[in-house]
Amino acid sequence: MENFVFQNPTRILFGRGQIAALATELPADARVLLLAGGGSIKENGVHAQVVKALGARTVREFWGVEANPDYDTLMRAVEIVKTEKLDWILPVGGGSVLDGAKFVAAAALYDRDPWTILTTRAAHVTAALPIGAVLTLPATGSEANGASVVSRRAIKEKLAFISPHVFPRFSILDPETTFSLPTRQVANGIGDAFCHVIEQYLTFPAHARVQDRFAEGILRTLVEIGPRTLSHPTDYDTRANFVWAATTALNGWISVGVPQDWATHIIGHELTALHGIDHARTLAIVLPELLNAERVAKRAKLLQYAERVWDLRDGSEDARIDAAIAKTRAFYESLGIKTRLADYDVPVATAAEVARRLAARGMSAFGDRGLITPAKVEHILRAAA
């Protein structure tokens, strides 16, 4: 296991009725920017709960943060924060609203061109306004990490930044707020969380037993509860397990001291930037073929994954690896998530285009061992056609 420093500053308030805690979690004199998406929180009653808990505080509402939050939209929110001297950011919604809040919080205190927050992966971010989050969609882990992904549709880009300054100070996770999610978003959430674990686990052995067993526990939990939380959306205990699984998949616990990959995400973000495909669906397209392409480098962990996550113990090593990859694809398909580019009407020429874009960005060798080159990206996407 590598040396590591672990700190996760986000305080989690989990369970029914926790939105009321906003009344005490936020300072009484906070000047709040309430950031929201397209209106789901109005329809499911979450907005009303939040407004009630905020009481007499000064609150400015900003609506319209898109799925895959857009830079130009977020910059309008930054202007409001500056002109109205707001000092807390309160995202209420899914990962996109939370990610958007992180960008707004950092950009409001940034004196360079705000786009460079994304192009330099926050190299110059030294401060951010405090964030308190109310999460309504389990998927990204954004509620308890320092990552944010922002799209800029005007130039077809989608870039991420990571900064210790944008961890939410607190996040409220009430599973009941997720009961109103459409099936498609629940499936996306399961598929995204599953891939987050894979990116930190299915690499190469690092003698990290706690992290491995924890990762396998999250994966098995998602496989176990995924179908039920899709078919029984208001079964509280199943949904609560899903919410916590998604948080623990990307709050840093399983990544300490071990190699990480993220190649599936890096390639997937390009597919969203170019074709607007939902984030989780891009992962379902890339992951099976990436595992197949990397089956030699990832051999030891693929065999461990086959045995401990899918109970595959019989047959040759290659047969077990084939079966584990097939199970992975079948899991996504069972959630209603298609796993081929053709399913999304994406032409095979996109394979070369994604490779070209990554090469232009200097991404010449990435993944857990730096083995993913633009040429390999093209190969993987051609195989996923």
Query: Which residues lie near Zn ion (CB under 5 A)?
Result: 192
> Site for ligand NZQ (CB under 6 A): how many residues?
34
User: Among 250, 258, 290, 341, which residue sits at the site for ligand NZQ (rule: CB under 6 A)?
Assistant: 250
User: Among 10, 49, 73, 96, which residue sits at the site for ligand NZQ (rule: CB under 6 A)?
Assistant: 96
Long-range contacts, stretch 297-305, CB < 8 angstroms, 24+ apart:
297/204, 297/368, 297/369, 297/371, 298/202, 298/203, 298/204, 298/368, 300/204, 300/205, 301/201, 301/202, 301/203, 301/204, 301/205, 302/202, 304/205, 304/212, 305/201, 305/202, 305/216
Interaction of residue 139 with ligand NZQ, rule CB under 6 A: yes
CB 296 within 8 A of CB 282: no
Cβ at position 288, least distance to ligand NZQ in Å: 17
Q: Tell me the window of 139-147, 223-231, 350-358, 373-381 that interacts with ligand NZQ (CB under 6 A).
A: 139-147
CB 151 within 8 A of CB 271: no
- Token readout for 326 is 């097939």
Sign of CA dihedral 95, 294, 349, 118: positive
- How are the residues of the chain apportioned to helix, strand and coil, as percentages rounded to the nearest 5? 55, 10, 35
CB 172 within 8 A of CB 20: no
Cβ at position 261, least distance to Zn ion in Å: 12
Indicate which of ligand NZQ, Zn ion, none lies near residue 281 (CB less than 5 to 8 Å, by partner kind): none
Alpha-carbon distance 195 to 183, whole Å?
A: 18
CB 60 within 8 A of CB 86: yes
Interaction of residue 117 with ligand NZQ, rule CB under 6 A: no
Q: How many Cβ atoms are within 10 Å of 353's Cβ, its own excluded? A: 14
Pick between residue 48 and residue 319 the one whose CB is nearest to ligand NZQ.
48
User: Among 10, 18, 49, 140, which residue sits at the site for ligand NZQ (rule: CB under 6 A)?
Assistant: 140
Q: Tell me the window of 75-83, 177-185, 335-343, 352-360 that interacts with ligand NZQ (CB under 6 A).
A: 177-185
User: Among 13, 35, 147, 354, which residue sits at the site for ligand NZQ (rule: CB under 6 A)?
Assistant: 147
Query: Measuring CA to CA, which residue among 161, 113, 171, 160 is closest to residue 138?
Result: 171
Interaction of residue 265 with ligand NZQ, rule CB under 6 A: yes
User: Among 67, 90, 106, 230, which residue sits at the site for ligand NZQ (rule: CB under 6 A)?
Assistant: 67
Interaction of residue 39 with ligand NZQ, rule CB under 6 A: yes
Interaction of residue 275 with ligand NZQ, rule CB under 6 A: no
Interaction of residue 137 with ligand NZQ, rule CB under 6 A: yes
Pick between residue 260 and residue 348 the one whose CB is nearest to ligand NZQ.
260
Interaction of residue 217 with ligand NZQ, rule CB under 6 A: no
Alpha-carbon distance 20 to 49, whole Å?
A: 7
Interaction of residue 185 with ligand NZQ, rule CB under 6 A: yes
The residues that bridge with 31 in the sheet, in sequence order, are 58
Q: Tell me the window of 8-16, 137-145, 324-332, 344-352 that interacts with ligand NZQ (CB under 6 A).
A: 137-145
Interaction of residue 212 with ligand NZQ, rule CB under 6 A: no
Pick between residue 192 and residue 278 the one whose CB is nearest to Zn ion.
192
CB 377 within 8 A of CB 267: yes
Q: Is 346 helix (H, G, I), strand (E, B) or coil?
A: coil
Cβ at position 104, least distance to ligand NZQ in Å: 14
- 341 CB-near residues (< 8 Å, 6+ apart): 285, 347, 348, 350, 381, 384, 385
User: Among 59, 78, 91, 94, which residue sits at the site for ligand NZQ (rule: CB under 6 A)?
Assistant: 94
Binding residues (CB under 6 A) for ligand NZQ: these are 37-41, 44, 67-68, 93-97, 99, 136-137, 139-142, 145, 147-149, 177-178, 180-181, 185, 188, 192, 250, 265, 279
